[in-house]
């Protein structure tokens, strides 16, 4: 679960980048990166569209309503307290990313995995998390964030360099009427590959702390989560087997 913990910490830390809207964009990119890395670790080949479908939870988790837009502009006037204002949201997002990563890892390990069902799986992932007591893992992340503030500050500085490059690149490509999104995502990808060992070294102790904390949680908690996922995935199949489609209906 190293990949899941590594990305969850980065996703949470991304919200501390002091550039409105781009911190969310960076968190979304990291979420997709987690999906892609987990898929590759299980030798699953996914298209960009399938990765996007399985990353849709990032958009759900980052959606706090229109009021947050005005608040984020106000936060630019009070950058000194930005870290504290985003603290709870970052912990919640990192927690959600961990649960999603855990489920994705189980999904990609599933022998019956079918990449063409990415949209169905995305819905099953979201439903599986409903009603789960996320406070267990949330408490572990809260303690890890609290004890690792210095490390998180260093990580945020590195992440900020990505967003600065993103702004410059996007502005230049917009002036030239070129597709900025695909180019800048590639730029982000190159940055992370280039500095992957640096990020892993910075986060090493925090990942160890997470491993210990989450390892002490009841195993039944995660068994329940996994069972809910596969109940959601398999229930349509059981329904199809029990009730053949009506004449003229399509599969």
Question: How far is the C-alpha of 200 from the C-alpha of 214, rounded, in Å?
Answer: 19
Report the candidate in 62, 83, 65 with the shortest Cα–Cα distance to residue 13: 83
75 with 20: CB under 8 angstroms? yes
pLDDT of residue 204: 94
Read off the pTM: 0.80
pLDDT of residue 231: 94
pLDDT of residue 137: 96
Question: What DSSP designation does 22 have?
Answer: H
How many other β-carbons are positioned within 10 Å of the β-carbon of residue 223? Answer: 10
Residues of the chain with pLDDT below 50 are 64-70, 75, 77, 238-251
229 with 105: CB under 8 angstroms? no
pLDDT of residue 167: 59
pLDDT of residue 247: 38
The domain ranges of the chain are 2-232
pLDDT digits (tens, 9 = 90+) for 118-172: 999 999 999 999 988 999 999 999 999 999 989 988 888 888 877 666 656 555 5
Q: What are phi and psi of 134, to 5 degrees?
A: -75, -10
pLDDT of residue 7: 95
Question: How far is the C-alpha of 224 from the C-alpha of 219, rounded, in Å?
Answer: 9
């Amino acid at each position: 679960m190293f990949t899941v913990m590594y990305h969850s910490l980065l996703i949470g830390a991304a919200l501390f980048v002091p550039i409105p809207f781009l911190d969310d964009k960076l968190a979304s990119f990291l979420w997709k990166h987690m999906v892609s890395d987990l898929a590759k670790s299980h030798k699953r080949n996914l298209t960009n569209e399938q990765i996007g479908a399985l990353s849709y939870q990032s958009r759900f988790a980052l959606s706090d309503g229109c009021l947050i837009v005005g608040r984020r502009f106000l936060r630019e006037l009070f950058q000194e307290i930005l870290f504290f204002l985003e603290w709870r949201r970052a912990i919640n997002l990192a927690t959600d990313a961990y649960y999603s990563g855990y489920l994705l890892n189980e999904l990609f390990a599933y022998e019956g995995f079918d990449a063409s069902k990415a949209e169905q799986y995305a819905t099953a992932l979201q439903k599986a998390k409903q009603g789960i007591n996320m406070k267990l893992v949330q408490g572990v992340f809260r303690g890890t964030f609290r004890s690792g503030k210095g490390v998180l500050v260093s990580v945020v500085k590195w992440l900020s360099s990505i967003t600065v490059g993103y702004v410059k690149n996007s502005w230049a490509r917009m002036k030239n009427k070129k597709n900025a999104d695909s180019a800048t995502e590639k730029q982000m990808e190159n940055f992370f590959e280039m500095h992957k060992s640096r990020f892993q070294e910075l986060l090493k102790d925090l990942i160890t702390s997470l491993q210990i904390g989450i390892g002490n949680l009841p195993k039944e908690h995660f068994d329940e989560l996994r069972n809910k996922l596969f109940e959601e995935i398999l229930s349509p199949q059981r329904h199809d087997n029990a009730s053949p489609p009506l004449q003229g209906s399509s599969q």
